[in-house]
Amino acid sequence: MAAMNKDHLVLTVREVAKLLRIHRPKVYELIKEGAIEGFKLGADWRIKRESVEKLIGPIPADFWNQDNEIKISSNGSTSNTVSV
């Protein structure tokens, strides 16, 4: 899969934590408080990009050029390379 870009409408908890420079538990708190809008997708949370942008403004383009990508191996398994 190609590297994530600014067209992504939803972010993972790890991506939001990295972007806001906070720990992941704080992201869950922000969702619970209603500061950012998130929804569950199976067992995982996804956060609407526009919700984060309302909080901090537009997401810098260089954020998408970092290691924020999901790699799919030849056997179909995924490994998220986002580091927080």
Count structural domains, the chain: 1
User: Containing domain of residue 23, as a range?
Assistant: 10-70
Is 79 domain-assigned? no
Q: What is the pLDDT of residue 6?
A: 52
Rounded to whole angstroms, what are the CA distances from 37 to 2, 32, 54, 78? 26, 9, 10, 25
Is 39 domain-assigned? yes
Is 44 domain-assigned? yes
Is 24 domain-assigned? yes
One pLDDT digit (tens) per residue for the chain, 84 residues: 344 445 678 999 999 999 999 999 999 999 999 999 999 999 999 999 999 999 888 877 777 666 554 343 455 443 444 333
Is 46 domain-assigned? yes
Q: What is the pLDDT of residue 84?
A: 36
